[in-house]
Amino acid sequence: MSIVYALFTLIIHVEGNSGVSCPTPLCQCQYLQAICSGENLTYIPRLPEQIRQVTFINGNIGILSRERIGNLTFNHIEKLKFASNRIFEMKPNKFANLTWINHLTLSLERSLDVFDVRNALIDIGTRSRDLKKLFLVDIGLTVLPNDMFNSLKTSKIDMISLKSNNITVLNCLSFSDLKQMDELDVRSNQTTHVIPGMMPKLRILFLNHNHLNRLPNFCIDHEIKSVFPHLLKLDISNNKISTLGQIRCTPRLQSLIIGNNLIRVIHSDTFTNLNQLTRLDLMVVGEPLKKIEESALNISSLKTFVIENLT
């Protein structure tokens, strides 16, 4: 009986949105995508039934609630983006009925409370396993609650961007339950410390444009086990690192970008453990880099080497 009722509800749901036109000039619709913007964007309008991707930008939405977001439930929304809409509060269960979302972006919404954001992820994570890409960009995050991403552990999420926030301590334990995580982007924050945590499938890590004064520790269990055993690309450029030391516990690393740091000497054993390294970028490292010790670049796998300002 419940299955029949669900199918009946779905039919009403789809038919209820047929014939809806694009709400111009508030929105511009093209094929599967709608972009809604402007000072008059104070609510979320109904959209044509074929819309699968929607962006709300430079609006004046203020509060997101289940009721205010209700018009989106008439669509099969897969990609949802809010950018610079003066959102200052997100009520519980606001995304409860948006069960098809696989890309979610909150950007330039600097008045949001971190726990509102956490609860939004709970809304999605407890009702949908389709979320794959999460962008929390320039929304003023400073500290991530320990359970920030716990609700996503059964999802398909493989990429999180926390770019352009104010995070000072990156606790990788917050991501340890996300077994499919492939890419983490924490560039352009205020990060000074990284707490290691297992991310067994992570392949790409952006830590550039932060305030790190040393290379993060990628080892656990008495320095013999890697927290990122499948890491392929690491960007730690534009930090304040003065000494590299021997880079350890990144056995599959292929691309290392360390330019624009304060490193003056590259020691002979720095890259000894990087047996699969194919690209090394030392662009403007040390400003200038004073010395590369003999055999430091004796890396048989290396194919691309970029350097500048060596004196």
pLDDT digits (tens, 9 = 90+) for 245-304: 899 999 999 999 999 999 889 999 999 999 999 999 988 766 677 888 888 888 999 999
- Is 311 domain-assigned? no
CA distance 268 to 294: 6
- Predicted confidence (pLDDT) at residue 154 exceeds the cutoff of 60: yes
pLDDT value at 307 more than 90 = no
Tell me the longest C-alpha to C-alpha distance in the chain: 78
Under the banding of pLDDT at 50, 70 and 90, the label for residue 9 is very low
Q: Is 50 exceeded by the pLDDT of residue 5?
A: no
% of the chain residues with pLDDT over 90: 73
Beta carbons of 174 and 199 less than 8 angstroms apart = no
Which of 4-18, 194-208, 220-234, 249-263 bottoms out in mean pLDDT, i.e. has the lowest? 4-18
pLDDT confidence of residue 213:
95
Domain containing residue 135 = 13-157
Asked if residue 150 is part of any domain, the answer here is yes
Q: Is 144 helix (H, G, I), strand (E, B) or coil?
A: coil
In a domain, 111, yes or no: yes
Number of structural domains found in the chain: 1
d(C-alpha 274, C-alpha 255), whole Å: 10
pLDDT tens readout for residues 47-105: 999 999 999 999 999 999 999 999 999 999 999 999 999 999 999 888 878 889 999 99
Whether 182 is in a domain gets the answer: no
> Cβ atoms within 10 A of the Cβ of 172, count?
21
Q: Is residue 101 within 8 Å of residue 77, measured between CB atoms? A: yes
Tell me if 145 is assigned to some domain: yes
The domain that holds 137 is classified in CATH as 3.80.10.10
Rounded CA-CA distance 256/156 in Å is 27
pLDDT of residue 309: 58
Is 244 part of any domain? no
- 265 located within any domain: no
pLDDT-derived band of residue 10, with 50, 70 and 90 as boundaries? very low
Looking up tokens 């999802």 gives 155
Q: What confidence score (pLDDT) does residue 286 get? A: 65
pLDDT tens track for 167-200: 999 999 999 899 999 999 999 999 999 999 999 9
Beta bridge partners of 256: 234, 280
215 has pLDDT over 70: yes
Q: Which two tokens mark 4?
A: 């029949």
Q: Tell me if 308 is assigned to some domain.
A: no
What is the rounded distance in angstroms from the CA atom of residue 245 to the CA atom of residue 64? 48
Number of H helices and number of E strands within the chain? 2, 21
Query: In this structure, how many other beta carbons lie within 10 angstroms of the beta carbon of residue 245?
Result: 11
3-class DSSP state for residue 107? strand
Half-sphere exposure of 88 (CA within 13 A, CB side): 4
